[in-house]
Chain A
Amino acid sequence: MKKITIKIDDKKITCAEGKMILHVAQENGIEIPHLCDHPDLQVKANCRMCVIKIKGRNGLFTACSTPVEDEMDIITDDREIRRSRKTNLELIFGEHHLDCENCTWGKRCGLLQYQKPLRAKITRFSNRKEKRPSKQFGPIIFEGKKCIDCRNCVEVCPVGYYEIEKRGIDISIEPSTNKNKDCVYCGQCIVHCPAGAIKSDGEFEEMEKVFELKKQGKVLVAQFAPSIRTSIGEEFGMPYGSIATDKLSAALKKLGFDYVFDTSVGADFTTTEEAGEAIERILSGKDLPIFTSCCPSWVKYVEFYHPHLRKNISHARSPQMMLSSIVKNYFAPKQKIDPKNIVMVSIMPCTAKKYEASRPELNFENGLKPIDYVWTTRELAWILKDKKIDLKTIKDDPADNPLGDPSGAGVLYGASGGVMESALRTAYFRLFGRDLQKVDFEQVRGQDGVKRAVVRLCKPVKFGGDKCVELRVAVVNGLKNAKIILDELKQDPKKYQFIEVMACPGGCIGGGGQPLPINEEIRKKRSASLYQIDKTKKIRLAHQNPQVQQVYKEFLTDKKLTKKMFEVDFKPEGKSKIKIKK
């Protein structure tokens, strides 16, 4: 791309032609207020906060939608510019219900960030949307009275669930009543909303309940998902990608949890099961390709939009479920704890996990629910702050044994391609009864929307020669891209044997329950740290994890029990009801 030279506030800048002024400014440390712009999304230019001037041209321009041109001379701040931004921000506050204490942004939103320097008056205009209802579908809550009509959610939703209704002042974003459309609960709308107008059920009102239960004598058990260890630090001012595994478990213990386990160990079980199932199905050619099952949004998507492909989904329960099976059915009796007395709280990067935990098909035979509460990363950060527990300064304290020390593979579950990579590592063992030496599968890593690979697994020569198996795999990163692969399968059903799909871009590190903001840069940093953890782990293969091996040896001695603990058969339900709350 052609390089050009421009000036922003008299600072000389060399940049690529055609980029938007806003983004060039950001890259050079010049902050221009903006609300509707999101690097994941197309330019919409409807908040009109990012106005700037260009010398030699009349009027104001929106920096998010005006491309840089050679020798452009840009002014980002003067009285007129500020007046416009201030008025627009005051107008925006006039359609935004303030609920900063209970907001997904935790007071770090753009509205508040710009309010002070612009000296905007929050109450200049009364909130005209105060009477708009909230709507809940599954675990997602859309609060009409906070929405500033930017349309980010409309664009980001992978299933086109939001519709723009009416015009002018009556314009509103509405969940679709079309019976052929349903939300899959991924929460991408939540993490792309600049105004905190969408949240998940429970945020941020229901965490206290758990501590009430403790007072009643219950045993509190927490598990935390792979991706959270590299994201939660952000809520406490730590740099993007900070690894906080042991701080996380320390904080959970300090909160009052009696036991803290690592969902990544659950992931090690999932890998062990799923790799076995995959190899079995690939060798027998039954119900191929096999789809990963750990992303509940993906599962719901298949059930609702492509029911004929349900049989392709792996029967393996997701990591949080497997871990809970072991905690409530193996660990509890061993510790002489009545499983009914255990309250399992699962800290997830994900809003769809709340939905998964509510699915009755996952309940144990005695009716007990595997997971009692799912908290998002944001909810955990919120309660920690509320209890004045500072993650940044807390002393490390690792998760508890016997379910606290995962393999590197288990940690990779948090990133797109991680489930596939973990499975491939273990599949090798399943095929040849030997452990893989070179465990990195670079082909399935990274932020591309679709990653395709033919993986050749060969038995080492010294152990019986050159037997090789070729696996045709695909990794879908972001549900929007699933269509590409599904279309390919329509053309050629045998094109792939094994497909990983994560609904959220980047995988769970970009999940709908994660701290805001989220964008490609942030996803990359969170993800890189997960790979860093894997690299430094001594054990990097799921089935090699001694904690996993011990459970198989001591507890899962027969196939029937293993099936009960680790498999599930979902009965899909229809479209979720939209509940209206005044």
Chain B
Amino acid sequence: MKFINKIQVANLKGRGGAEFPTAFKWLSVAKGHLKEFNQPVFVVCNGAEGEPGMFKDGYILQNYPEKVIEGIKIAMDTLGAEKGYIYLRQDYLKKFKNHLKKYIGKLPIELTAEKIGYLGGEETTLLETIQGDRPEPRLKPPYPTEFGLLGCPTLINNVETFYQISQIQHNEYKNTRFFCISGDAPKKGVYEFPVDMSIGEILKRTKNVPRFNYFVQVGGGAAGEILTKEELNKPLIGAGGIIIYNLKKTDTKELIKKWVNFFFDYNCGKCVPCREGLYRLKEMLQKNEIDMVLLRSVLRTMRDTSFCPLGKSVYLPIDSMLESVKVNYKNKRDTK
């Protein structure tokens, strides 16, 4: 409990993109455990990192595996967990397996593979995957903290979050986070900066302010918001990706199609707005003329009614692109 307090003081937020206060999550698992004392508790480290433009978890696993493992161990000790899992996208698992095993040693921590790409990183889908069930999101509540793996209280934190836990333990946490910069950036890579540093400042510090006309996508290479260079005077919220696009060289229509195709490929097919909406978006975008009113109402309905974050997040990138950057659609209203 003392340690949870420490997390709270540090004001650490989950680094998987949802920005949920980490201390809350831990507390809620602890409470879940109190309620059902006979049940085991599980700790899962989420290294699914399936969105384009995101590679900082890979970077951390490569460079600081001992810290990640230490973070997991602290969580397991603090919460009295029976077992830990490191859940990794398949290429990470291959790449880091031996290396991680060395640090795990005799700890009851198991390495396990993510199976379906992007959506596999969603917390409840992750649980279903580890359980060996059909990988798709669960209804919430109950939340994983109370009813997680096999119905037991389960803590799921991102790779970076566990890294930061270890930093907190050693009093080395400095309120920083990792950013991945990619796209048409001259100096692509992973950088660590204070969480509240503005996006513009990050580009400056990393010598990534382009000379050409550009826009950026922040948060992730599919679900992230599109910002013009005038809109960068604010810190990044959500997943830590910054992708720079050369305005002249970028076919914005193609880019939108690429996003839609990405979500289309990875949706699980459970709910109507996402499964059917993506299909119709794809269909509409293939045509020369687009019914913009219909396109927008499908997008809004997806945002407002989708079952899980995947379907909900299709709206933002497309809407912000349409708002901020010129996209040459021929509008045709279906008036029938």
Question: How many whole Å from B294's CB to the nearest CB in chain A?
Answer: 8
Contact residues in A for B283 (Cβ distance below 8 Å): 125
Question: Does A481 make an interface contact (CB < 8 A)?
Answer: no
Question: Does A166 make an interface contact (CB < 8 A)?
Answer: yes
Contact residues in B for A125 (Cβ distance below 8 Å): 276, 280, 283
Identify which of B27-35, B103-111, B304-312, B318-326 touches chain A. Answer: B304-312
Contact A87 B269 (CB under 8 A): no
Contact B276 A95 (CB under 8 A): yes
Q: With the chains together, A23 CA to B275 CA distance in Å?
A: 26
Contact residues in A for B304 (Cβ distance below 8 Å): 51, 59-60, 80, 84
Question: How many whole Å from A42's CB to the nearest CB in chain B?
Answer: 9
Interface string of B121-134 (1 = CB under 8 A from A): 00000000000001
Question: How many whole Å from B88's CB to the nearest CB in chain A?
Answer: 21
Question: How many whole Å from B81's CB to the nearest CB in chain A?
Answer: 29
Question: Does B298 make an interface contact (CB < 8 A)?
Answer: yes
CB within 8 Å for A94 and B269 given contacts A45-B139, A84-B304, A84-B305: no
Contact residues in A for B271 (Cβ distance below 8 Å): 45-48
Q: With the chains together, A429 CA to B195 CA distance in Å?
A: 86
Question: Does B8 make an interface contact (CB < 8 A)?
Answer: no
Contact of B276 among A62, A91, A164 (CB under 8 A): A91
Question: Does B272 make an interface contact (CB < 8 A)?
Answer: yes
Q: With the chains together, A341 CA to B43 CA distance in Å?
A: 74
Contact residues in A for B265 (Cβ distance below 8 Å): 168
Closest to A59 in B: B304
Q: Which B276-308 residues have a C-beta within 8 angstroms of A?
A: 276-280, 283, 294, 297-298, 300-301, 304-307
Contact of B273 among A65, A87, A170 (CB under 8 A): A87
Contact residues in B for A128 (Cβ distance below 8 Å): 279
> Which range holds the interface residue count of chain A?
20 to 34
Question: Does B154 make an interface contact (CB < 8 A)?
Answer: no
Contact residues in B for A49 (Cβ distance below 8 Å): 272
Contact B273 A167 (CB under 8 A): no
Question: Does B264 make an interface contact (CB < 8 A)?
Answer: yes
Question: Does B79 make an interface contact (CB < 8 A)?
Answer: no
Contact of A47 among B139, B267, B272 (CB under 8 A): B272
Contact residues in B for A164 (Cβ distance below 8 Å): 134
Question: Does B99 make an interface contact (CB < 8 A)?
Answer: no
Question: Does B156 make an interface contact (CB < 8 A)?
Answer: no
Contact residues in B for A46 (Cβ distance below 8 Å): 270-272, 307
Question: How many whole Å from B19's CB to the nearest CB in chain A?
Answer: 15
Question: Does A484 make an interface contact (CB < 8 A)?
Answer: no
Contact residues in A for B298 (Cβ distance below 8 Å): 87, 91
Closest to B263 in A: A168
Contact of B268 among A48, A80, A92, A168 (CB under 8 A): A168
Question: SS class of chain B's interface: helix, strand, loop or mixed?
Answer: helix
Name which of B277, B304, B336 has the most chain A CB atoms within 10 A of its CB: B304
Q: With the chains together, A125 CA to B280 CA distance in Å?
A: 8
Q: With the chains together, A328 CA to B94 CA distance in Å?
A: 73
Contact of B269 among A62, A91, A149 (CB under 8 A): A149
Contact A45 B307 (CB under 8 A): yes
CB within 8 Å for A168 and B273 given contacts A51-B305, A88-B301: no
Contact B275 A171 (CB under 8 A): yes
Contact A168 B276 (CB under 8 A): no
Question: Does A455 make an interface contact (CB < 8 A)?
Answer: no
Question: Does B76 make an interface contact (CB < 8 A)?
Answer: no
> Which range holds the interface residue count of chain B?
20 to 34
CB within 8 Å for A84 and B301 given contacts A46-B270, A167-B116, A169-B269: yes
Q: With the chains together, A137 CA to B283 CA distance in Å?
A: 34
Contact B280 A91 (CB under 8 A): yes
Contact A88 B272 (CB under 8 A): yes
Question: Does B266 make an interface contact (CB < 8 A)?
Answer: yes
Contact A83 B297 (CB under 8 A): yes
Q: With the chains together, A95 CA to B305 CA distance in Å?
A: 18
Contact residues in A for B334 (Cβ distance below 8 Å): 124
Interface string of A187-227 (1 = CB under 8 A from B): 00000000000000000000000000000000000000000
Closest to B268 in A: A167
Question: Does A30 make an interface contact (CB < 8 A)?
Answer: no
Interface string of A351-380 (1 = CB under 8 A from B): 000000000000000000000000000000
Contact of A65 among B139, B277, B279, B336 (CB under 8 A): B139
Closest to B136 in A: A167
Contact residues in B for A88 (Cβ distance below 8 Å): 272-273, 301, 305
Question: How many whole Å from B255's CB to the nearest CB in chain A?
Answer: 21
Contact B269 A167 (CB under 8 A): yes
Contact A48 B305 (CB under 8 A): yes
Contact B275 A168 (CB under 8 A): yes
Contact residues in A for B294 (Cβ distance below 8 Å): 124
Contact residues in B for A561 (Cβ distance below 8 Å): none
Closest to A126 in B: B283
Question: How many whole Å from A569's CB to the nearest CB in chain B?
Answer: 42
Contact B297 A168 (CB under 8 A): no
Q: Which A82-128 residues have a C-beta within 8 angstroms of B?
A: 83-84, 87-88, 91-92, 94-95, 121, 124-125, 128
Contact residues in B for A84 (Cβ distance below 8 Å): 273, 300-301, 304-305
Question: Does A43 make an interface contact (CB < 8 A)?
Answer: yes
Interface string of B238-281 (1 = CB under 8 A from A): 00000000000000000000000000111111111101111110
Q: With the chains together, A469 CA to B190 CA distance in Å?
A: 83
Q: With the chains together, A148 CA to B294 CA distance in Å?
A: 21
Contact A94 B276 (CB under 8 A): yes
Contact residues in A for B300 (Cβ distance below 8 Å): 83-84, 87
Contact residues in A for B268 (Cβ distance below 8 Å): 167-168, 171
CB within 8 Å for A91 and B307 given contacts A167-B116, A169-B279: no
Name which of B139, B272, B273 has the most chain A CB atoms within 10 A of its CB: B272
Contact A94 B280 (CB under 8 A): yes
Question: How many whole Å from B124's CB to the nearest CB in chain A?
Answer: 13
Contact residues in B for A45 (Cβ distance below 8 Å): 139, 271, 307
Contact A168 B269 (CB under 8 A): yes
Contact residues in B for A80 (Cβ distance below 8 Å): 304
Question: How many whole Å from B227's CB to the nearest CB in chain A?
Answer: 22
Q: With the chains together, A149 CA to B283 CA distance in Å?
A: 20
Q: With the chains together, A437 CA to B105 CA distance in Å?
A: 78
Contact residues in B for A51 (Cβ distance below 8 Å): 304-305
Question: How many whole Å from A41's CB to the nearest CB in chain B?
Answer: 13
Q: With the chains together, A94 CA to B271 CA distance in Å?
A: 14
Q: With the chains together, A409 CA to B270 CA distance in Å?
A: 46
Q: With the chains together, A166 CA to B294 CA distance in Å?
A: 28
Q: With the chains together, A91 CA to B116 CA distance in Å?
A: 25
Q: With the chains together, A48 CA to B273 CA distance in Å?
A: 7
Q: With the chains together, A161 CA to B305 CA distance in Å?
A: 30
Contact of A92 among B270, B272, B306 (CB under 8 A): B272
Q: Which A45-80 residues have a C-beta within 8 angstroms of B?
A: 45-49, 51, 59-60, 62, 65, 80
Q: With the chains together, A572 CA to B307 CA distance in Å?
A: 45
Q: Which B46-102 residues have a C-beta within 8 angstroms of A?
A: none
Closest to A51 in B: B305
Question: How many whole Å from B211's CB to the nearest CB in chain A?
Answer: 41
Q: With the chains together, A49 CA to B272 CA distance in Å?
A: 9
Question: How many whole Å from A566's CB to the nearest CB in chain B?
Answer: 48
Closest to B265 in A: A168
Question: How many whole Å from B61's CB to the nearest CB in chain A?
Answer: 27
Q: With the chains together, A51 CA to B266 CA distance in Å?
A: 24
Name which of A48, A62, A169 has the most chain B CB atoms within 10 A of its CB: A48
Closest to A172 in B: B269
10 new A-B contacts, CB < 8 A, other than A48-B306, A49-B272, are: A45-B271, A46-B307, A62-B305, A65-B139, A87-B277, A87-B298, A92-B276, A148-B272, A169-B278, A171-B268
Q: Would you give 22 A-B contacts (Cβ < 8 Å), ordered by A?
A: A44-B139, A45-B139, A46-B271, A47-B271, A49-B272, A60-B305, A87-B277, A88-B305, A91-B280, A91-B301, A92-B272, A94-B276, A124-B334, A149-B269, A168-B264, A168-B266, A168-B269, A168-B278, A169-B264, A169-B267, A169-B269, A169-B279
Give the top 8 A-B pairs by smallest Cβ distance, nearest first: A171-B269, A91-B276, A87-B301, A48-B305, A168-B269, A46-B271, A60-B304, A84-B301
